[in-house]
Amino acid sequence: MKKAKQYSFLLEETKSLINKDVDDIANMANLSRLLYERLSHHWIGFYRVIKDQLILGPFNGPIACTSIAFGKGVCGKSWQHKKTYIVNDIHQFDGHIACSPLSNSEIVVPCIRNNHVFAVLDIDSTKLSMFDHEDQYYLEKIVALL
Ligand code: SME
């Protein structure tokens, strides 16, 4: 299936999955599982902004680091600059935080509400250059539903 078609389905599934009557953790738990099942990447999960740190939230995949400082790693930079980062080769990214030796590329999408980043969605792949602007386009639409 073409990526755009797969993401269009996923967007619709996300719309029916997100429940505005429950908290972010419940929705992130279901959404991380849905993305993991549909996209089959190595690690998919959320880090939530708690005070001055990103703290590990709901995820699927191997055990990961539990806290990331503002501006550190790909996640901390996405939080700092309020923008999506696509990293084709994490070994070339200055300051990358390695949680799994199997990861080779990564996309981090900030989750923004009222102009504030409240979390980031992080997806890691074992393949180099796995993510492109099509992933960015749809993943930004998906996290906007939170
Ligand atoms: N690689 C991330 C850290 C989180 S793990 O990949 C799950 C980073 O550099 O921010």
Residue-wise pLDDT tens for the chain (146 aa)? 799 999 999 999 999 999 999 999 999 999 999 999 999 999 999 999 999 999 999 999 999 999 999 999 999 999 999 999 999 999 999 999 999 999 999 999 999 999 999 999 999 999 999 999 999 999 999 999 99
Which atom of ligand 1 is least distant from the CA of 43? 7
> How many CB atoms are located within 10 Å of the residue 86 CB?
17
The CATH number for 3-143, chosen from 2.40.33.10, 3.30.450.40, 3.40.309.10, 3.40.190.10, is 3.30.450.40
* Closest-CA residue to 123 (of 140, 103, 108): 108
The model's pTM is 0.97
Distance of CA 92 to the CA centre of its chain: 20
Torsion of CA 26, 10, 133, 98, to 10 degrees: 40
* Closest-CA residue to 42 (of 99, 103, 101, 92): 103
* Residue among 46, 75, 94, 108 to mutate when testing ligand 1 (max atoms within 8 A of CB): 75
**At how many degrees (to 10) do helices 133-143 and 3-17 cross?**
10
